[in-house]
Copies of this chain bind each other. A is one copy, B any other.
Amino acid sequence: VSTHSGEFERIASLSRIYAGTHGAVMLGIGDDCAVLAGSASARVWTVDTAVAGVHFDLAFMPLHDVGYRAFMAAASDVAAMGARAEAALSSLIVPPDLDDAALYALAEGIAAAAREVGASVAGGNLARGRELSITTTVLGVADGRVVTRAGARPGDGVFVTGVLGAAALGLVALRAGADVAEALEPSRARAVRHFLAPSARFDRSGLVSRSASAAIDVSDGLVQDLGHLAAASGVGITVELARVPRVDEHAALALALGSDPVALLLSGGEDYELAFTAPRDAVPNALATCIGIVKAGAGVVVVDEAGERIDVGAGHDHFVR
């Protein structure tokens, strides 16, 4: 039995793998184009690429998780507009040494992420190359208002969903490889899970599209991404370090692994949480954490509990950027 099928056979297999995903697709894999059902709502779409050795490392990441993360990274951009993901195209460049089992593990991860967000993988492309890469195009639909990066107003609160720094800590732990003290093992497993299987934060409650003045997803690190939002909105942002949501046990693990917990929190990327601005009384605590305030001016400043400014390094480096 050959472990390298022909192109059409591989596409047929991918088509079966993607068949379990769902969305508003009238015609999917197997023709020149996928056909989407018409809609009067605003459509949003994005594309994101993950390259082996740059955005992921097969030495310590299973291919299923590589596919899952690559899809979520693209879907997260749709979430950051206050929209929901509807359909996706997945374009792969596949090196000769990647066999069928590896390819299908990758595709299963992509399909799992698509199902998780309720989107359909409507088509894609397979090309040969020397370097594995996954390019995901996601089309989303905004039932309400589309929320951009440009709309934050002085006086708005700054909010984030979930916890930050966990994915970057998981990457540090995976890279370190070695076992950690037994007491730290649950924290390690949780951080690794954050890194390998992030969830794009779709606005199921409608909070973001109803209340947010501006939004972005945390992919490059909190301070860097808030910097993009501040620049697009023409405002400044002050973040209070103590308010930034985190997993308490992660600080001990970070120190044990030789990493700075504060740097992970402020500059660690790939959490795929949402950061957004909104009137301060518009956001229930259960849905997001208020971490700071929008001010007139420019740039992002982080302050400690005494109000002293904290020096923040550069943004998250993904892999080898």
A-side residues, CB < 8 A to B, are: 26-27, 30-51, 53-55, 77-78, 80-81, 83, 89-91, 93, 122-125, 127-131, 133, 135, 137, 139-140, 142, 146, 148-150, 216-217, 232, 321
If A35-B43, A47-B89, A128-B54 touch, does A27 touch B139 (CB 8 Å cutoff)?
no
Q: Copies of this chain, how many?
A: 2
What separation, in Å, do the CA atoms of A146 and B22 have in the docked complex? 21
What separation, in Å, do the CA atoms of A30 and B30 have in the docked complex? 33
Q: Which of B46, B54, B128 contacts A123 (CB 8 A)?
A: B46
What separation, in Å, do the CA atoms of A55 and B128 have in the docked complex? 9
If A128-B54, A148-B27 touch, does A38 touch B36 (CB 8 Å cutoff)?
no
If A27-B146, A130-B130 touch, does A125 touch B34 (CB 8 Å cutoff)?
no
5 A–B contacts from the bound complex (CB under 8 Å)? A32-B80, A47-B135, A48-B125, A51-B129, A91-B91
Q: CB distance B45 to A36 under 8 Å?
A: yes
Q: CB distance B47 to A38 under 8 Å?
A: no
* A31 CB to nearest B CB, Å: 5
Q: CB distance B39 to A149 under 8 Å?
A: no
Closest B residue to A321 by beta carbon equals B128
What separation, in Å, do the CA atoms of A217 and B90 have in the docked complex? 21
What separation, in Å, do the CA atoms of A127 and B93 have in the docked complex? 13
Q: CB distance A93 to B133 under 8 Å?
A: yes
